[in-house]
Structure 1
Amino acid sequence: MARKHRPGSVTRRHRWQHLQASFRDTTILLREFRSPLLWFSVAIVGGGSLFYFLSHLLNEPTGSLVESIYIILTITFLQPPNRDFPQHIVLQLFHFIMPVVGIVMLAQGLADFGSLLFNRRARSKEWEMAVASTLNNHVILVGLGHLGYRVALKLHEMGEQIAAIEFNANADTLNAVRNLGIPVIHDDATRPASLESANIKDARTIIMASQNDAMNLQIALKARSMNPKIKVVVRIFDEDFAHALQEQFGFIALSATEMAAPVFAAAASGVDVTNPISVEGQLLSLARLTISENAPFVNKNVGFLEDNYHLSIVLIRHDHQSEMHPSDHSQLHVGDTLAVLGGPNELNRLMHDNE
């Protein structure tokens, strides 16, 4: 049976990612507001130093430079200082000027900072970027059209971590994908900064699911240059062009005849899968995989795998020897290579259990 994620573990993972995203989002906010904070600090320290110098010059000295800075800080926030009101007009002016400086330099900035910190919907793009930055070994999905949306649903069902990029903010599927807990970055994926915001350096796979062949190829080449190890799955309408890309660049290029979302999901998840053929309306593909030590069908037989996954094993390669059309009693071992014929959904289940 397909491996299921326990609700508790999924919830804990989402909570941890949310905490990480909150921390990174707050860090981004602090960077955005560093200029007001810096100028406010300069005003307080500079004002305190000037107050210290003038108080000694005008024979109303403070105890130390630190005390002078503290006095300036307290009067900036309209709090009474821990000393009597000065007698000289020059020192008195500090009590009236510094509150104005505080309001101009800091109050508006703090109000904006608090508003944006607690109302992240107003900063949707930055928040989605912060969430995406917490992902690792994930899948980046470019394009949330009808195909992209179905691919997102299928990958989500398989328990994959996903970050999506969509340029059209009015896409009907955008909010539906966000409701699944998938970060969606509203940006142009042809820009390197957009791919960086989806944390491409730590991604395992990128899928280009838009309807523009030229744009898909452009993004694919950029993605490979930014992460040479990333698996690239690209939608290409021209079948000959798709095969040429696969031979030339090693991309998994799927043409218009292969547009089933489960096929994209299987390719993205690491299955070496052939172009599907339609047999009486059912899509069938031939996939190759190597049995991992964690697979639940290790040391089981062919009949067990075929009955539980509704697939046909065409070939087993064990110890450099191949067995075509193996019997139901043939054993499956770690490291064996299988050639399996089945539908995209069944292949997805098999691959997921083999991780």
Structure 2
Amino acid sequence: LRRPPRILSGHIVLLGLGKIGARVLARLREYDIPVVCVEQDPDARGIPLARDLGVPVILGDVTEDGVLDAARVHRADALLALTSSDTTNLEAVLAARTLHSGLRTVLRLYDDDFATAVYRTLRSAHPDAVTRSRSVSHLAAPAFAGAMMGRQILGAIPVERKVLLFAALLVAGHPQLEGRTVAESFRADSWRVLALDTADASARRPDLASTPLDGERSELLWDLHPGYVLRPRDRVVIAATRRGLAELLATGPQPASEPAAG
């Protein structure tokens, strides 16, 4: 295994060469980004890959003195802490930031509650920094939901470590919506009706997320009056959490459209 050159700078320090670390290493090298790896296990999955790619590797515990120095972290552009241990990753990032205060860091945390606490603490402690936190399972959820539900899912927006889903639903069969006003149908932290498709049922677009074809109409009314009573034949666009949308679908009719490929 190669050792990092003494004059190395502007590189990325990659901590952890397990399944995730090995895939990240391969992608970084595809873009010719200089990398120095740190791994405690000499039999880790990514060690042979690092050897084949000629990537410098430091074998040792990142929490021990001198390991980050050997990886030239004080001259690095970023640190990716991707081991399977939340505490190791957090300790490594905090230690690296003491050596290089302007270091950009990516921190992998498995425990969702712990990750949320770390994110909010860092955001409060460094209000001027660009701090982001993403949950892989939450980000992947819309793709799975879209595959199962077809054209109902219109899109998704990550919000902190959660995802806000946008979906098109027929009101019929949903007791939380049917016969209620727009204001009455709202449920905090679950769903909100955003718009009403005013097109005739025979002329509606089957997929509101697609570009309209000839003969298809989409007349979405976004400025809905809070007192408007939702009728069974209405189709509405809602914003919902994963749990809220799951609750709506559990009590409503099954989607008529075919599941999307993939």
Q: TM-score, normalised by structure 2?
A: 0.49
Q: Based on CA coordinates, which of the two structures has the bigger radius of gyration?
A: 1
Higher helix share: 1
